[in-house]
């Protein structure tokens, strides 16, 4: 197809006379084919894959947090640090119970904490007092006392029942009774 140069209407191929304006011997402009413009398209990513990928990342993150909170802890001397109620969960795990008494609140751990592979009768964290306390059965007392003396500096013996030790900036009081051993770390 061509167009009339005077009026711009379409003129059939090979004619020199415009049927609308009747212009004679008017040159006609042939229609120039429009060059194809390459449009760059973004690769199509399925929304389903995006949703599944995001869900997988969230599930993995939740599993890692749960494993960190509920995994059993075998505590060593270097594991003790001052914690508040919130950071105690991440440092020592989820407690079995929490109670409040005249000393403030404390978090009790019974089943998921050991001390150098020895299971205490009780392990408590007192965030408001910046201390932790262990209580061991009498049959474990000698082993625990050996661990403390191997890892800590002996400071003092008070009343043949209380022993004072230190480890870095920690103060350790060991109370040795016949049926149990109690350790308080400040």
pLDDT given for residue 26 in this prediction: 52
Phi, psi of 29 (to 5 degrees): -90, 120
Most confident of 59-63, 80-84, 89-93, 177-181: 59-63
Percent of the chain, pLDDT > 70? 76
Rounded Cα gap, residues 165 and 146, in angstroms: 12
The fraction of the chain above a pLDDT of 90, given in percent, is 3
Mean per-residue pLDDT of the chain: 75
Q: Tell me, what's the pLDDT at 58? A: 92
Cβ–Cβ < 8 Å for 63, 44: no
- Between CA 11 and CA 6 the distance in angstroms is 11
pLDDT bucket at 30, cuts 50 / 70 / 90: low
CA distance 148 to 171: 12
The per-residue pLDDT for range 43-73, each reduced to its tens digit, is 566 787 888 889 999 999 888 877 766 666 7
Tell me the sheet residues that pair with 153: 166
Task: Give the number of C-alpha atoms closer than 13 A to the C-alpha of residue 104, restricted to the C-beta side.
Answer: 12
Q: Determine the Cα–Cα distance for residues 176 and 186; give it in Å rounded to an integer.
A: 17
The CB density around residue 148, as the number of other CB atoms within 10 Å, is 21
Contact present, 119 and 135 (Cβ < 8 Å): no
Per-residue confidence at 28, pLDDT binned at 50, 70, 90?
very low
Question: 38 vs 82, which has greater pLDDT?
Answer: 82
List helix spans (H) across 107-155: 141-151
State the pTM of this model. Answer: 0.55
Residues, the chain? 186
pLDDT of residue 33: 57
Give me the pLDDT at residue 57, please.
Answer: 93
* Residue 174 CB neighbour total at 10 angstroms: 22
- Predicted pLDDT of residue 34: 55
Distance of CA 127 to the CA centre of its chain: 22
Q: Are 6 and 26 in contact (CB under 8 A)?
A: yes
Beta bridge partners of 136: 181
Is 147's pLDDT higher than 80?
A: yes
Asked if 134 and 183 touch (Cβ cutoff 8 Å), the reply is yes
Cβ-based neighbour number of residue 75 at 10 Å: 19
pLDDT band at 170 (very low <50, low <70, confident <90, very high): confident
């Amino acid at each position: 197809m061509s167009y009339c140069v005077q009026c711009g209407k379409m003129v059939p191929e090979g004619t020199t006379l415009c049927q609308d304006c009747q212009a004679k011997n008017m040159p006609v402009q042939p229609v120039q084919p429009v060059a194809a413009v390459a449009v760059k398209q973004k690769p199509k990513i399925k929304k389903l894959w995006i949703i599944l990928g995001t869900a997988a990342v969230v599930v993995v993150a939740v599993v890692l947090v749960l494993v960190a909170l509920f995994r059993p802890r075998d505590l060593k001397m270097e594991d003790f640090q001052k914690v508040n109620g919130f950071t105690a969960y991440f440092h020592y795990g989820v407690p079995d119970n929490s109670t409040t008494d005249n000393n403030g609140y404390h978090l009790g751990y019974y089943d998921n904490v050991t001390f150098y592979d020895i299971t205490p009768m009780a392990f408590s964290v007192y965030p408001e007092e910046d201390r932790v306390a262990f209580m061991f059965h009498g049959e474990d007392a000698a082993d625990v006392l050996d661990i403390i003396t191997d890892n800590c500096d002996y400071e003092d013996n008070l009343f043949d029942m209380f022993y004072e030790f230190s480890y870095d900036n920690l103060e350790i009081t060991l109370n040795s009774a016949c049926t149990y051993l109690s350790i308080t770390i400040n």
